[in-house]
Every structure is written in structure tokens, then in C-alpha cells.
Amino acid sequence: MTELTATPIDAATAPTGGRRLSTRTQTYLYACLIIVAAIVVVPLLTTAFGGFRTIGDLRGNAFGIPKEWIWSNYGDILFSQRYWLQMGNSLLIAVLTVFLTLLFASMAAFTFAHVKFFGSDFLLNYFLVGLMFPAATAILPLFIRIRDLGLLDTYWGVVLPQVAFGLGMSILLFRNYFRNLPTELFDAAFVDGAGYFRFFWHISLPLSRPIIATVGIISFVGSWNSYILPLIMLNSESKYPWPLGIMVYKGEFATDWQLILAFITLTILPTVIVFFAAQKHIIAGLTAGAVK
């Protein structure tokens, strides 16, 4: 586990060799791939199209082209305050989480990579304990702690635990990356009389863009999609990030599926767009922690 580094797998686009395939093999391959792709895509597309329907249309014709395009399902949501408020809340929480995770993890990882001090191995393993269990195990004491600190129903009540639980993986990724930078850099800075702070700020960080991107993507996606922490820490609807907001919306409109589908579509749309725009980075980032 400690030797885990962020070797990005270029699984999205890496060219793959092999000889040319016979037409029969190709037909078989395409048939299989298209069936699996359909199972993935049909629920998503019917959700998006469902947002344009009337409820009656949904009942009898969920797969076809909408008989009548009801633009107001989407329009009402796009012109509503709650949609933008929830997106804004999610964005704010995610940005704060990413910023603090990058800052604290890179600083701590730097000391583990470059400073010899008594107990450094112990402390690193201490952080790695956090990799072994999910936040949910200690969710009740965490709730009580946040309440006693007066952070209940604030963004910080969500951000700080998220940062804390992301530290283990982030410190590990940063530390391994820092350690793999050429030793000569350190020697050079040492000879030139640069201190640790200059070395960190002017050499380590500028050379670490790939790992900053990786850790940033992991913590952004985690925070953007997170549900259980905000569910427990936030009370006022005006502070809800979108995964909570969408559940409230579902509760309000119970079986008005056409509206719920439109709402789902609009909330996942940013994710889908960003994913297709930056697929290579996102796939490499999200699988980085997994592959040695």
C-alpha cells in the first residue's frame, strides 16, 4: 500500500495493437459492445427524454420520441432559484474541500518525503489508518463533535470532515510523488542554501502539477457527489448541495416523474459535460489511487 504511486493509467485513449480482425470476429465484438453500451445508455437517455414528456406519455411510451415536447419541465427548473442555489452550494463545498485537501496534504507529505524526524514513519502510518475505514463508521461521534464545535448546519461542518477523511490517500499520493522527483534537485537546492520553504514552493509544487490534478480530481468528484455527510450535518434547505436537494425534490413531487427526471438530468448534466471534455484526466485521476 505504501508503494502506491499515481502512475496514471492511460486507459481512456492509449493505442492498442494487435492484428486486424476478421469480419466475423468484428461483427461479434460490435454486437456484444453495443448491447452492453445500450444497457448503460438507455436508462440515461430515457431519463433525459422523460424530462420532456407529459406523465401520461411516460406511462405508455417511455422509450419512444416524446409525443409532445414539454419544454416547461426543464424551463421551470432552470429558472428556479433552488436549482442554482444547490449547484452553488455543491460547488462551494467542493472548492473549499479541494483547496484545503491540496494545501494540508501537500504540506504534510512534503515533511514525510524530505525531512528526517523522529517518529515520521509512525506518523505516516497514523494517517494511513484513515484509508482502512469509511467515514460512516464514526458518523455519530462525528456528528456530536461537529455539533459541540458549533459547526452544525454550516458548510465547514461538511468540508472539514471531508478534508480529514481524504487526507490519508492524498498524503500518500503526494509523498510518493515528491519522493520520486530526482534527488539531484534536493541536493542542488541544498548546496545553494535554499531552505525547505523555498524548496517546497519553488521546486516541489511546480513540478507536481500531475499529482495536484489527480488529488484535486479525486477530492472534487468525491465532494461533488457526497451525500451522507451533508445529510447528517446540514439542516437548512438553503445550504443543501444537489444530492440532498434532489432527494427533497423527489419527496415533494413523489410520482410526477417527468419533473423529477428533468431535475435529475439537469443535475447530472455538468458531470457528464465535464467528463466528456476532460475524460483522459478524469479517468486517470479516479483510477490513480487504485493502480500501483
Scanning residues 69 to 98, which ones bind another protein (CB under 8 A)? none
The binder of another protein chosen from 71, 79, 227, 253 (CB under 8 A): 227
Q: Confirm or reject binding of residue 196 to another protein (CB under 8 A).
A: yes
Least spacing, CB of residue 275 vs another protein, in Å: 5
Query: What residues from 254 to 283 belong to the interface with another protein (CB under 8 A)?
Result: 255, 257, 260-261, 264, 267-268, 271-272, 275-276, 279, 282-283
Residue 247 phi, psi dihedral angles, 5° rounding: -70, -35
- Comparing CB distances to another protein, the nearer of 95 and 268 is 268
The binder of another protein chosen from 22, 24, 63, 81 (CB under 8 A): 63
Q: Confirm or reject binding of residue 104 to another protein (CB under 8 A).
A: yes
- Comparing CB distances to another protein, the nearer of 17 and 81 is 17
Least spacing, CB of residue 238 vs another protein, in Å: 19
Q: Confirm or reject binding of residue 45 to another protein (CB under 8 A).
A: no
The binder of another protein chosen from 59, 65, 75, 88 (CB under 8 A): 59
Q: Confirm or reject binding of residue 221 to another protein (CB under 8 A).
A: yes
Convert residues 6-35 into a mask of x (bound to another protein by CB under 8 A) and - (unbound).
Answer: ---xxxxxx-xxxxxx----x--xx-xx--
Least spacing, CB of residue 78 vs another protein, in Å: 17
Convert residues 122-141 into a mask of x (bound to another protein by CB under 8 A) and - (unbound).
Answer: -x--xx-xx-xxx-xxxxxx
For the chain, what is the HEC assignment? CCCCCCCCCCCCCCCCCCCCCCHHHHHHHHHHHHHHHHHHHHHHHHHHHHCCCCHHHHHHCCCCCCCCCCHHHHHHHHCCHHHHHHHHHHHHHHHHHHHHHHHHHHHHHHHHHHCCCCCHHHHHHHHHHHHCCCHHHHHHHHHHHHHHCCCCCCHHHHHHHHHHHHHHHHHHHHHHHHHHCCHHHHHHHHHCCCCHHHHHHHHHHHHCHHHHHHHHHHHHHHHHCCCHHHHHHCCCHHHCCHHHHHHHHHHHCCCCHHHHHHHHHHHHHHHHHHHHHCHHHHHHHHHHCCCC
Q: Confirm or reject binding of residue 253 to another protein (CB under 8 A).
A: no
> How big is the site for another protein, counted in residues (CB under 8 A)?
121
